[in-house]
Chains A and B, each alone.
Chain A
Amino acid sequence: MELTRRDFLKASAAAAAFAAAGAPVLAPRIAEAADDKGIKWDKAPCRYCGVGCCVLVGVKNGKIVATKGDPAGPVNKGLNCIKGYFLSKALYGKDRLTHPLIRKGNKMVKASWDEALDLIASKYKEAIAKTGPDSVAIYGSGQWTVFEGYTAVKLFKGGIGTNNVEPNARLCMASAVVAFMNTFGSDEPMGCYDDLDLGDTFILWGANMAEAHPVLFSRLIDNKLKNPKVKIIDIATRRTRTTQMADDYIPMYPQGDLAALNGIAHVILRDKLYDEAFVAKHVSFKRGTENQPYGLKDKEAAGDKPENIDFAKYKELMKPFTPEWAEKLSGIPAAKIEELAKLYTDKSRKVNTLWTMGVNQHVRGVWVNNLIYNLHLLTGKIGKKGENPLSLTGQPSACGTAREVGTFAHRLPADMVVMNEAHRKKTAEIWKIDPAKISPKVGLHTIEMYRAIDRGELKCLWIQCTNPFQSIPNLSRYRKAAEARKAFIVVSEIYPTKSTEVADVILPSACWVEKEGMYGNTERRNQQWFKMVEPPGQAKEDTWQLIEFAKRLGLGHLFPYSQKGFYKEMWEEYRSFTIGTGKDLAPYETYFKVRGLRWPVKANGQETRWRYVDFDDPYVKPGEGLKFYKAPGNKASIWYRPYEPPAESPDKEYPFWYCTGRLLEHWHTATMTGRVPELKRAMPGATLEIHPEDAARLGIKNRDKVKVSSRRGSIILTAEINGRGKPEKGNVFTTFFDETKLINDLCIDAFDPISKEPDFKKCAVKIEKA
């Protein structure tokens, strides 16, 4: 019997793989029949990255026993990446948190939910009474479901009366968000993943898609293998798996993107390669504030005051940015800059730009985003099938929750902001509260939130669904502040982490399909799922935790949803923010069957693949062609943004660039993927990738222990030479997943003055043999 069942399972596995690869095999029905025995399948988006793959989850006797790439899922077409193996592991690790814990001195002791929630409420009430609502905060996540993020925003902004609501997405998407807003007047991309199948030229700026977005990279490769015209250009500071498949690898100095992009624009202007009619109809020109600080001092004031300029002025300002100038600052040869300009303007090519953390985690991240859009707006290569810039995201609901619900210190749902009176009024109407309750004062952004703990100004912080005490830069300052018990810290988590270590209260959370949810991915696709299994022990979902807390603050009336219609009622309330804005969401039930829908969802229930175009976007009338209808005067902005240096560059004492990132098998701080001891055998802890010539000069051999030091700290890592990633000379690279190696101790907490997103990609270190 066992043998038979195993044979069937193997046949099922093979059949699913054949089908996903596009080659159905004979008699798969037998396999399916066996496979379905006792297993109930239901759909969900993957729990991990921002790609938003569609998965099928198989449940038997109350446990998840199988997963599949969803053959009906348009994102991934039946295939998951290697992280798919850890979907179950994420839930079933041995050390899963199963009941609330309260700090008693140096120990965490079991408590009931009532004890824990009463304690949290009393601490928040005390702080609010003594030092005001701005002395409390919540720090959430791009992994929050829409419901969780919405509950947090409504409670803190509409109930408690503080805008101290931040997501960890500040660390990854904030620069992209600002550039969407100041260029197009609305957040999130005009294009979608279909462009990966339809385009023929893909220019990647500092993005290792093969490891960070493997399923999307596979779509790109499928396109390339079918179409010999397809070109992939990898512009980066490190050779990666992406490089192996690229037609051209162009090494670049850190921060060189600012110069290279300006150099390309210079050539386009110099040789009149721009689309004059497009520019005249769809573009206005702006210049922002230059020479702003890097946020290294607490409470340092900064901002961007745009000035309108015209095309002639822009051309004049761009004159000094010659390819030779760009070469000096970027290391990209002037001839290559000219070549890239020709590629970007080639009328026979459908050009797409792809980028992610290399551009966003940057002290001038907003500028680099702007400079990318400049190229597409100058050439008119935007708003077309197969031809768009596409900002890739890192978390499953960075878009759906952090950005769309607006869980940032300055945002409200659907692109609205707390500084705008009309936006506060609209929000208050939907929430049925007094508009005066919503503060017009922007709350603390992420880095300032942790600095405020150190300064003793922030008294209470609730962290949900993220691990900041491993992931924020200049980590030791903030860990010391927390360890000194300068604030009362609550952490809702599924496993012990570096953040639960410093908590006063730990709350056990439900994860993924242990609760009902909705995520929104990079391409504006919202995907709903139902609860499929019970959370372990006393674990509860984060919305429940927040609403029980709200009741104790006397704010339970903000959440008047019935038990039976809870998610639908909350969704419909949230959805009302989006109607008529161009970000329209569908009624809740619509999402039950479909594998997600891309907004704006049309009156007929159809999704929108391409925004701002009359052939797809319902907000553009037939015959209008392209219309940036969310931007002032229907014109998108081209920004003059010059080169400015990084906050810290290598010098005699600290001669190497230090860059951090992630790798295929682990996700972020590995709270979920790191519960796998054997995985650490194949891919052990964090290593330091170093160029062979640099290693030889320092007498370092492969696998030697090395001491890496910055002005902020030191760490011992194992040197990796000619491994899967190969940094350029003068650069070293490491990953931040390993909780035994707090590599962010070394990172500088400098950030973009406009987006407040820190730069995890550039600081100066020295390397010694340990």
Chain B
Amino acid sequence: MPVSGVVIRCQPGSEVQIAEQAGQLEGVEVHGVLPDGQVIAVIEAVSVNAEADLATKLQQLEGAISIQVAYHNFEDVAHEGGADGTDKA
């Protein structure tokens, strides 16, 4: 399962609420709330796509200014590639 470490920049005063709401999302662990209004979280999901979905949800939380990704590991996700693109005859 891919794992990412993210920083949520919050409108001043909304960081505690955002941390609480973020923590309720399945796959999101809040690791800390910094004094300057940043929330540190770890996202874990079944696929990179699901992980990005969660990040988008965090971005849409009331008071969230931005979500940024510091670290992203997807080493145990099997990569599928190389379909040949040929039209089926």
A677 interface hit (Cβ, 8 Å): yes
Partner of A66, one of B36, B75, B85, B87: B75
Q: B40-89: which residues lie under 8 A (CB-CB) from chain A?
A: 40-42, 44, 47-53, 55-57, 59-60, 65-75, 79-87, 89
CB nearest neighbor in B for A109:
B86
Chain B binder among A214-222, A362-370, A567-575? A214-222
Count chain B residues whose beta carbon lies closer than 8 angstroms to a beta carbon of A.
Answer: 52
A21 in contact with B34 given A67-B72, A82-B52 (CB within 8 Å): yes
B72, A20: Cβ atoms closer than 8 Å: no
Chain B binder among A90-98, A271-279, A439-447? A90-98
A510 interface hit (Cβ, 8 Å): no
A33 interface hit (Cβ, 8 Å): no
Whole-angstrom distance between the alpha carbons of A20 and B66 in the complex? 14
B36, B66, B81, B86, most chain A CB atoms within 10 A: B66
B86, A82: Cβ atoms closer than 8 Å: no
Q: What residues on A are CB-neighbors of B36 within 8 Å?
A: 22, 225
B40, A664: Cβ atoms closer than 8 Å: no
A85, B66: Cβ atoms closer than 8 Å: no
CB nearest neighbor in B for A539:
B82
Partner of A85, one of B34, B42, B55, B65: B55
B44, A84: Cβ atoms closer than 8 Å: no
CB nearest neighbor in A for B12:
A225
Partner of A80, one of B31, B69, B85: B69
A63 in contact with B85 given A23-B34, A68-B70 (CB within 8 Å): no
A95, B52: Cβ atoms closer than 8 Å: no
A107, B89: Cβ atoms closer than 8 Å: yes
B23 interface hit (Cβ, 8 Å): no
A678, B50: Cβ atoms closer than 8 Å: yes
A21, A35, A99, most chain B CB atoms within 10 A: A21
Partner of A10, one of B44, B47, B48, B80: B44
B5, A16: Cβ atoms closer than 8 Å: yes
A17, A20, A110, A214, most chain B CB atoms within 10 A: A17
Whole-angstrom distance between the alpha carbons of A130 and B69 in the complex? 55
CB nearest neighbor in A for B55:
A82
CB nearest neighbor in B for A15:
B5
CB nearest neighbor in A for B63:
A244
A84 in contact with B69 given A506-B85, A676-B49 (CB within 8 Å): yes
CB nearest neighbor in B for A87:
B72
B5, A82: Cβ atoms closer than 8 Å: no
Q: A4-50: which residues lie under 8 A (CB-CB) from chain B?
A: 6, 9-10, 12-23, 25, 35, 39
Whole-angstrom distance between the alpha carbons of A18 and B40 in the complex? 6
CB distance from A374 to the nearest CB of B (A): 33
A21, B42: Cβ atoms closer than 8 Å: no
B73, A678: Cβ atoms closer than 8 Å: no
A13, B82: Cβ atoms closer than 8 Å: no
A677, B70: Cβ atoms closer than 8 Å: no
A18, B85: Cβ atoms closer than 8 Å: no
Q: A53-98: which residues lie under 8 A (CB-CB) from chain B?
A: 58, 60, 63, 65-69, 78-82, 84-89, 91-98
Whole-angstrom distance between the alpha carbons of A204 and B50 in the complex? 34
B85, A496: Cβ atoms closer than 8 Å: yes
CB nearest neighbor in A for B86:
A110
Q: What residues on A are CB-neighbors of B32 within 8 Å?
A: 14, 18, 23, 25
Q: What residues on A are CB-neighbors of B72 within 8 Å?
A: 13, 66-68, 80, 84-85, 87-88
B52, A85: Cβ atoms closer than 8 Å: yes
A682, B68: Cβ atoms closer than 8 Å: no
Mask of B1-36 contacts with A, CB within 8 angstroms, 1/0? 101111101001000000000000000010110101
Partner of B52, one of A12, A68, A78, A679: A679
CB distance from A98 to the nearest CB of B (A): 5
A85 in contact with B69 given A10-B29, A66-B74, A676-B49 (CB within 8 Å): yes
Whole-angstrom distance between the alpha carbons of A301 and B13 in the complex? 58
A66, B73: Cβ atoms closer than 8 Å: yes
Whole-angstrom distance between the alpha carbons of A536 and B50 in the complex? 25
Whole-angstrom distance between the alpha carbons of A19 and B40 in the complex? 10
CB distance from A430 to the nearest CB of B (A): 39
Q: What residues on A are CB-neighbors of B49 within 8 Å?
A: 89, 676-679
A564 interface hit (Cβ, 8 Å): no
B42, A101: Cβ atoms closer than 8 Å: no
Q: A672-694: which residues lie under 8 A (CB-CB) from chain B?
A: 676-679, 681-683
CB nearest neighbor in B for A20:
B70
Whole-angstrom distance between the alpha carbons of A80 and B7 in the complex? 10
A537 interface hit (Cβ, 8 Å): yes
B80, A82: Cβ atoms closer than 8 Å: no
Partner of B87, one of A69, A84, A108, A724: A108
A665, B52: Cβ atoms closer than 8 Å: yes
B31, B34, B57, most chain A CB atoms within 10 A: B31
B3, A82: Cβ atoms closer than 8 Å: no
Partner of A217, one of B3, B66, B87: B66
A269 interface hit (Cβ, 8 Å): no
Whole-angstrom distance between the alpha carbons of A107 and B89 in the complex? 7
CB nearest neighbor in A for B44:
A10
A245 interface hit (Cβ, 8 Å): yes
Q: What residues on A are CB-neighbors of B83 within 8 Å?
A: 94-96, 98
Chain B residues at the A interface, C-beta cutoff of 8 Å = 1, 3-7, 9, 12, 29, 31-32, 34, 36-38, 40-42, 44, 47-53, 55-57, 59-60, 65-75, 79-87, 89
Q: List 10 tightest A-B contacts by C-beta distance, closest first.
A: A13-B5, A678-B49, A17-B5, A16-B71, A65-B75, A79-B68, A16-B70, A20-B70, A66-B73, A17-B70
Q: List 5 A-B contacts (CB under 8 A).
A: A14-B42, A65-B75, A78-B70, A108-B85, A214-B66
6 further interface pairs, Cβ-Cβ under 8 Å (given A84-B68, A537-B84, A676-B52): A13-B4, A66-B72, A108-B86, A222-B9, A225-B37, A665-B56
